[in-house]
Amino acid sequence: MIWEIDDGEKQIEGLDATGHPDPGYAASLGLLPAPFGRRTMATLAELLVLALFALPAMLVATPALAEILSGAGDAGAMLADGALVWPIVTLAVGNVLATVFIVVQLVLLGRKGVTAGKAVFGLRTVNVRTLERPGFWRGAVVRYLVLSLSFLLPLLGPLLVVALSPFFDSERRGRSWLDQAGATWMVDVRRGLNPYDVKRMRIARKSVRITEHASGPALPSLATPVERDAPAQYTPSGRLSGGVIGAHRRMSPPQPGAPGAPVAPSAPTATPVAPAAATPFAPAVAPTGMVDAVPPPLVAGQLLDSFAPSPAAPTPPSAAGSDEPAPSPAAAAPAASAAGGVPAVRAVLRLDDGSRVEVRGATLLGRAPAPVAGEGAMQLVAVADDTRSVSKTHLAILPSRRGVLVVDRGSTNGSAVVRDGSDLTLTPGDPVPVQAGDVVRFGDRTLTIERA
């Protein structure tokens, strides 16, 4: 562990090699010198307030003072008669108000760098070296004493000290003789940075102090490549399907046995099931004229069993010497399929990108299709969609005895069947029969039903 001892010396930024304030550093922070016109107007506004405090005393005390000076009245007699009461009261009140105003001005100037005139005209005073508050004694009291001494030369003294002296500044920062005596600098906070805004001032100092490094090499993009077969530049690790960013998947079919290859559905195991009560249902008649016998609503865990082809009765072997002809290979193929061989192709899905998918069993389509718990093995078809209009599990294509059925799996953007120019919007969870030539629209993608 390294211990650092604070020696109490504060490092002042913005000083040159000789210890003098650098005007370029203040300019790089965004500090701008106060303009001449507003400096003068701020001083005149404060003098006007002092004149207003002294006006009542001048109006009341001036006639009494003139009478005493001219010898027309006796001061003692006037005091005994009470003629000098109001002149004395107005003088006292005026002096008290002026004193309070001056003290408040000095405190605000030393601690906040602002006075009444500076607040009105958007000016602030800072210490010229530290660019912080000027301090009470030198930054406020010394300035006030110099300004008071300038009135010994009526009119010309204040004009020279306040208005004309900024033009003689060798650094061209607009510092008057008052600023040079108090080691202060008056800045414009309307157009430039406010030095008393601690947060912005800290950011400005850091931006000047810290050197910007050259930009490094571009990092790999996290976006999924636009081209379907483009190599993935970056694949996030440890991400699930619910993550915001998904790993890029190539559209080319994987080799059998490779990781990620679809698993062929296993042959159904004959399990004795008690016969269920028949559920009556009416044929679904679509507005486009699509009529088919639609089975009852789907139940999780029965998706495959509901639409699996009924097993064919086994053919007894022909006796030796029988005249019955042997079944043809074409007639024996469906029986072999039903007996547990490779499922027959029930339909072909031609996607809008030209790819073709053979429907041999229950098939799910989407950006990242996945069956719900209890549905068993299903054929999964990942559809690339850069616009993300296709849901993760968007459609289900289910074989039936008279063809195939299409079911919307509660997608976000919905699905529809297009036949002869008419659209039939799919209700989520309700199977709809389709036939060869029908177009199924899901999100921004489409597919066409073709015969096997």
Residue 417: strand, helix, or coil = strand
Tell me, yes or no, whether 29 and 155 share the same domain.
yes
Asked, for residue 54, whether it belongs to a domain, the answer is yes
Asked, for residue 200, whether it belongs to a domain, the answer is yes
For 33, what's the count of Cα atoms within 13 Å in the CB-facing half-sphere?
A: 18
On the question of pLDDT at 71 being above 90, the answer is no
The distance of Cα 295 from the centroid of its chain, to the nearest Å, equals 49
On the question of pLDDT at 178 being above 90, the answer is no
Structure tokens at 168: 């003689």
Structure tokens at 313: 């009765």
Tell me, yes or no, whether 75 and 173 share the same domain.
yes
Asked, for residue 377, whether it belongs to a domain, the answer is yes
* 55-69, 133-147, 323-337, 353-367: range with lowest mean pLDDT: 323-337
* Domain termination site, one of 158, 186, 209: 209
Tell me, yes or no, whether 302 and 184 share the same domain.
no
Asked, for residue 220, whether it belongs to a domain, the answer is no
Helix (H) / strand (E) containing 432: strand 432-434
Asked, for residue 283, whether it belongs to a domain, the answer is no
In this predicted structure, what is the pLDDT of residue 188?
95
Distances (CA, A) of 142 to 101, 107, 428: 17, 13, 84
In which domain, by residue range, is 71 found?
23-209
On the question of pLDDT at 100 being above 90, the answer is yes
In this predicted structure, what is the pLDDT of residue 190?
93
Tell me, yes or no, whether 49 and 161 share the same domain.
yes
> How far apart, in whole angstroms, are the C-alpha atoms of residue 431 and residue 436?
16
Asked, for residue 280, whether it belongs to a domain, the answer is no
Contact 449, 435 (CB under 8 A): yes
Query: Where residue 391 sits, what CATH number does that domain have?
Result: 2.60.200.20
HEC letters along 357-400: EEECCCEEEECCCCCCCCCCCCEEEECCCCCCCCCCCCEEEEEE
Contact 140, 118 (CB under 8 A): no
Band of residue 329 on the pLDDT scale cut at 50, 70, 90: very low
Tell me, yes or no, whether 64 and 199 share the same domain.
yes
In this predicted structure, what is the pLDDT of residue 84?
81
Tell me, yes or no, whether 172 and 303 share the same domain.
no
The percentage of residues in the chain with a pLDDT greater than 70, rounded to a whole number, is 69
Tell me, yes or no, whether 184 and 40 share the same domain.
yes
> How far apart, in whole angstroms, are the C-alpha atoms of residue 196 and residue 163?
25
Domains held by the chain: number? 2
Helix (H) / strand (E) containing 403: strand 403-408
Asked, for residue 190, whether it belongs to a domain, the answer is yes
Mean pLDDT along residues 155-181? 84
Helix (H) / strand (E) containing 121: none
In this predicted structure, what is the pLDDT of residue 214?
62
Asked, for residue 137, whether it belongs to a domain, the answer is yes
The percentage of residues in the chain with a pLDDT greater than 90, rounded to a whole number, is 33
Mean pLDDT along residues 91-116? 91
* Domain termination site, one of 209, 234, 254: 209
What mean pLDDT is reported for the chain?
Answer: 76
* Domain termination site, one of 209, 243, 265: 209
Mean pLDDT along residues 323-351? 57
> How far apart, in whole angstroms, are the C-alpha atoms of residue 10 and residue 428?
71
Mean pLDDT along residues 309-314? 42
Q: For 234-258, what is each residue's pLDDT tens digit?
A: 555 544 445 444 444 445 555 555 5
In this predicted structure, what is the pLDDT of residue 171?
81
- Residues near 173 by beta carbon (within 8 Å), at least 6 away in sequence: 23, 33, 185
